[in-house]
Amino acid sequence: MSTIHAPFDGVTHIRKPKDVGAADTTSIQDTVSAVLKDVQARGDAAVAEYAAKFDQSDLAVFEVSVSAREAALAALDPQTRKDTEFAIANVTKFARAQLDTMLPLEIEIREGVHLGHRIVPVERVGCYVPGGRYPLLSAPIMTIVPAKVAGVDEVIACLPPNAHPAMIAGCHLSGADRIFRIGGAQAIAAMAYGTQTVPAVNKIVGPGNAFVNEAKRQVFGPVGIDQLAGPSEIYILADHTGDAEMIATDLLAQAEHDVRTRVGLITTDATLAHAVQAEVTRQLTELATAETAAQAWDDYGEIALCDTEATMIAYSDHIAAEHLQVHTADPKTFATKLRNYGSLFIGELASVVYSDKCCGTNHTLPTMAAGRYTGGLWVGTYVKTVTHQWLEPSGIAQVAPPAVRQSTSEGLDGHRRAAQLRLDRLQMNEG
C-alpha cells in the first residue's frame, strides 16, 4: 500500500483506494533517455523522427508562423476567445499582485556591512502545453501568463503536433513569443538542449504525460523545472453540514480528467460519508464522461471517516492533496488550521473547476503529497531572488577578524589570506 494511505490513527475507511501498486517505469526511463541523447546529438533531425514515430506527424517546419498563429486566432469561436481573455485577465491580475509582494531588499546589518537581494526574472522559459484527451484551453494560460508578468525575456511554448488548433490560439493570446509544434520527451529535450530551430531555455514548466514528466526529471540540473506532476487529485473536507450532491459532483468533475485521478472525502460525519458514496454511484449513471470517472473512482476513490476534527486536519495534511476543498460550518476558520495542500478552496461556493479554468489562481499544482514541501506554479516560479553585499571600511573591521579565525581553524589558508589582506590594508590606511 502507498505510504500516503498507510493506516492512520483515528481514521476508518468507508471506502479505500485499491492497492494498484507502483508502475514499472524502467521502459519509460530508457525510452526517454534515448530520446534526450539523440535530440542533444542530432537536433531537429531527431525531433522530426520522433514526431513521426510518436505523433504520426510529418511537419517539415516545427515553429508556428505568424500567419498560422493569426489563422488559429481567427478560427477561434468568438465566445471561446472572450472566455479565454477573461481567464487571462484574472490570472494576470493575480500574478501582478503576487509579484508586487516580492520586493528588493537592502539592509545594513552591522555598521558598514550592507546586504541585499534583487528579484530577477529568468531569461528564457520553456512552457510545455499538453495535448491531453481534451483541448484544455486554460493550460497555456497557467504557464505562459505568469512568465510574461514576471518579466521573462522570451517564452517558448511547445505543444504536440496533433493538439487542437485552439491551443495555438491560447498560446498566442497568453503571450508566447514563439510556439513550436513539438510534443513529448523530444519537446523537453529540444527546450533543454536547444536545436537548430528551438532555442535552449533556462527553465521548463508545465505538466505532461509520463514521458514528459520523466524527461523533465532527467534534464533537471542544466535547466530548472517547476515540479514533477502526477495525476490530478481532489480531496474534500466536510463536517455534518456537507452537501452530498455537491461533494459528489465536485469529486467526479476532477475524476473525469484521467483514470488515475485521486479523489477523496475526509469527514467526521458517517451519515454524510455514506450519502456521498451513494450519490457518486447515482451521478455516474448520467455523467457523459463516466467511463473515465468511474474507473478513477473505482481504483482511487477514498472516503475516510475521522473520529475528531483534529484527526481530519491531521489526515488531510498527511494526504497533502493537490486540490483541497473545505465544506464545513465555518470554512474560513477551519482553513487556517491546514498547512499541506496545492491550492485551497474555502467554502462550498469555491469549486476546483473555477481555478482550473478562469478565476485567477494557478492550476499547475503539486501532487502525490508534494504539497508537504512545496506550493504550485506562480509568478515567483519565473524569478530568482539573488543576494548581494558591499562593505565599507568599518564593516571590514567587524567581519574580517572572525573570518580570519574561522579560516585558520578550518585549515583554509587561501580564505584566511583573502580576509587578512583587506584587514591589513585597512589598518595600514588607518595608520
Map residue 406 onto helix, strand or coil: helix
What DSSP string runs through 303-329?
Answer: EEEESSHHHHHHHHHHH--SEEEEESS
Distance CA 367, CA 370 (A): 5
Residue type present at position 414 = G
Among residues 323, 327, 348, 363, the one annotated as catalytic is: 323
Among residues 214, 233, 302, 322, the one annotated as catalytic is: 322
Q: What is the CA radius of gyration of the chain?
A: 26
The values of phi and psi at residue 192, to 5°, are -75, -45
Map residue 225 onto helix, strand or coil: strand
- Identify the DSSP state of 379: G
Task: Name every residue whose Cβ is closer than 8 Å to that of residue 21 and which is 6 or more positions away in sequence.
Answer: none
The values of phi and psi at residue 89, to 5°, are -60, -40
Assess whether 322 carries a catalytic annotation. yes
CA atoms within 13 A on the CB side of 96: 6
Distance CA 378, CA 385 (A): 14
Assess whether 233 carries a catalytic annotation. no
Residues marked active site are found at 322-323
